[in-house]
Amino acid sequence: MSGNGGPAPDDRYVVISADCHGGGGILDYRPYLEKRYLDDFDAWARDYVNPYSDLEGDLGPRNWDSSRRLADLEADGIVAEVIYPNTVPPFYPNSSLVEQPPAPNSGDLDRRWAGLRAHNRWMADFCAAAPGRRAGIAQIMLHDVAAAVAEVRWAKENGLTGGVLLPGAPPGSGVPALYDPEYYEPLWAVCAELDLPVNHHAGSAAPPAGERAEDKVILLLEVTWWAHRAFSHLLVGGVFERHPGLRLILAEQGTAWIPEELARLDYFFDRMGTDRSGSQEAVWGQELVGRMSLRPSEYFARQVSIGASFIRGHELPAASRVGFDKIMWGSDYPHREGSHPFSREALRAAFAGVDPVDVERMLATNAAATYGFDLDALRPVADRVGPTVAQIAEPLKHASLPAEAEKCPALIGYGAPAS
């Protein structure tokens, strides 16, 4: 779309959502399970009670109905998507994305691995049903790194171009912290070797939350903090130093926190690495920092991108400090807090007044480079359904949408007040 002068007002953006969610219905996974697990699966499925209301009734099929999903996304002006998991895999008590399940025993480990493999194989077929328009993300467990490495290789060979979902390792998860310098090394090495992005989504690193109101509020307040730690843990573990080609994507964690956090990390690492006064920082960290060739902000600039699902206009100054070449917009379809069916309006709320060249980066070219989408192949769809440059440049008026639009954080203030 871009020429030397950038997009013209009547050009249509190619819009890629870098943060959507999907998965099969419970029984959809059965054909993908190994035969030895089928009896166990039938017993599990018979007694299973779905904990998520948005996977029931008419809402659930949005996760697995290919035609409906394409229609919903096109109505939003979206032509391609990166798909994180959403539904519950076989033998899991809940979604493996939302929280780390209780530490499994050996029997649970085998069955849960079987469930994740079934999900990944279902996802590969689901992506193949819309060639070039879906980048599915493979799920792994961290309790068996050799099995995780094998699954990463399977994902690469079978077209899951979204890469790998990195689970969290909070206290009580039964696995070492992500900064362990040896335990996870085969996983980082295979992802770097195969050039598959490592995705870390908000929610997947927090400890399990209780059911009291207090538990849920604390989860809301702390869930992104737990997710932010993935960068500092891989940094401290030397992963970015050993694997300069490894790519980490931090999804649905906002952008405004990044400049301050990088400044904080640079401060501490500078103190640890260069201070000669005998400070406590230097005593504790000088040996580790001595093994690093870059500052934290430099590793971030080289190897990290942001899946900014709910980016808002007031975040753009901070986002510009991060770099518009690092940010990928997402609709979070089909989550309650996602922008559907108001994604076109969410784009206006975020990007009106922003240089169209930078908007194009955040909507398309960054995601295409990260996940391997072919922008030329997507162009005919975008010419049919994509929003124009002029449409996105038009500011969205406050209180101009139905009140329900404010379920999406990107549209707070744009819903009509209750009558």
Asked if 228 and 259 touch (Cβ cutoff 8 Å), the reply is no
Give the pLDDT of residue 107: 67
| Predicted local confidence at residue 393, as pLDDT | 97
Q: Is residue 1 part of a domain?
A: no
State residue 205's pLDDT score. Answer: 80
Domain-located, residue 62:
yes
Distance CA 80, CA 247 (A): 21
In a domain, 4, yes or no: no
Which two structure tokens, joined as six digits, stand for 317?
Answer: 């100054």
- E strand segments, 104-215: 134-139, 163-165, 198-201
Q: Is the torsion defined by CA of 37, 42, 48, 52 positive or negative?
A: positive
Q: CA 231, 209, 146, 198 torsion: positive or negative?
A: negative
DSSP state of 382: H
Question: Are the C-beta atoms of 21 and 63 separated by less than 8 Å?
Answer: yes
Which pLDDT does position 204 carry in this prediction? 79
Q: Which residues pair with 163 in a beta bridge?
A: 137
Q: Which amino acid is at 79?
A: V
**Distance separating alpha carbons of residues 42 and 332, to the nearest angstrom:** 31
Asked, for residue 223, whether it belongs to a domain, the answer is: yes
- Please indicate, yes or no, if residue 42 is contained in any of the structural domains: yes
| Average pLDDT by stretches of 10, the chain with 419 residues | 72 98 96 97 91 84 97 98 94 67 68 95 98 97 94 98 92 88 97 98 82 87 87 96 98 90 94 81 88 96 95 88 94 96 98 96 98 98 98 96 95 87
Give the domain CATH number at 284.
3.20.20.140
**Number of independent structural domains in the chain:** 1
In a domain, 339, yes or no: yes
pLDDT at 173: 80
pLDDT for 419 equals: 62
Owning domain of residue 253: 16-411
Q: How far apart are the first and last CA of the chain?
A: 43
DSSP per residue over 61-116, as a string?
GGGT-HHHHHHHHHHTT--EEEEEE-SPPTT-SS-TTTSPPPPP-HHHHHHHHHHH
Per-residue model confidence (pLDDT) at position 273: 86
In a domain, 416, yes or no: no
Residue 169 belongs to a domain: yes
Sheet order of strands, 163-165 included? 16-22, 80-85, 134-139, 163-165, 198-201, 248-251, 304-308, 327-329
